[in-house]
Amino acid sequence: MAALGRPLVVATDADLAGRVAAERDYWLLTQHGLDPGAATFPAGLDPAGILARDGAAALERALVTAKPLGDLLLEERLTHLAGEVALRDAAHVLAARPEQHWIPGIDDVASRLTLSPAAARSRLAASVLAWNRDPRASARARLDETGRVKDRLTAALQKSPAQRWAALAAEVDPQLISQTDWPALAAMMQLAHNDGHDVPATVRRLVEDEPLADLPAQDLRYRLVATLPIDVAPSAPPTLPARPPVAGKEHADRALKSTRRPGPRPPRR
């Protein structure tokens, strides 16, 4: 597959087993220089179900609008982990991706975790060096951790919508979870997620250019109602404002540049 040079999309069932399978697929594929995408489907459906229910055009649309599978793994780490542990696991995910994703990816991670960009880049540089040295060994180590990911995803399924989306709400506007409209907003976010929408990316995009009003939960709920029925394409990640130079950041940048890897390795015969 690596030798074909064509985009690869992972299309697993929209349930816990499918999500864990996609996790494993990421590490199995990236060790061969691939950067797979991930198609998303409504809860309980798989590609065959979409084809039977909505037709070939809907299935094709799901494949064409696939987002990077690495982004899906990153979101899981940043949602369910915190601090240095989240940074470590996020760096592992980014290190397996092509180098053009390293700097924007790790800067976004640092911003969301409120960590030093220089420290985050240094952590990524170490992960990239380990991956480049032996991608198969690095991928094998990550595959051994799949059980932990499954445990986190299983625990998340037991949460109410208000609990499940609280971290995203706190990131967007700390007032959201104290609003009387918060339970209704959380329920709508869960429904959107169940229908295959990328809720975190959609929410961040909706508040990027226009702050929420005095009743933020109600305002965001109205924006979701107006947006989701017509917003079927994956949203681009928000563009972060330029940051001033940070002490140590130049050193981290040099470390990352020194880790540039060659192109994909052809599969062994």
pLDDT tens digits, one per residue of 170-206? 999 999 999 999 999 999 999 998 888 889 989 999 9
Asked, for residue 155, whether it belongs to a domain, the answer is no
Q: Are 127 and 22 in a shared domain?
A: yes
Strand partners, 68: 37
The number of distinct structural domains making up the chain is 2
Asked, for residue 208, whether it belongs to a domain, the answer is yes
pLDDT of residue 241: 46
Asked, for residue 170, whether it belongs to a domain, the answer is yes
Q: Are 168 and 131 in a shared domain?
A: no
Q: Are 135 and 36 in a shared domain?
A: yes
Q: Which range marks the domain in which residue 236 is found?
A: 161-257
Q: What is the pLDDT along the chain (269 residues), one digit of tens a residue?
A: 655 666 799 999 888 999 999 999 999 999 999 999 999 888 878 888 889 888 999 888 888 889 999 999 999 999 999 999 999 999 999 999 999 999 999 999 999 999 999 999 999 999 999 999 999 999 999 999 999 999 999 999 999 999 999 999 999 999 999 999 999 999 999 999 888 888 998 999 999 989 999 999 999 999 998 888 643 344 444 444 444 554 555 666 666 666 666 655 555 54
Q: Are 128 and 100 in a shared domain?
A: yes
Q: Are 39 and 107 in a shared domain?
A: yes
Asked, for residue 12, whether it belongs to a domain, the answer is yes
Q: Are 135 and 192 in a shared domain?
A: no
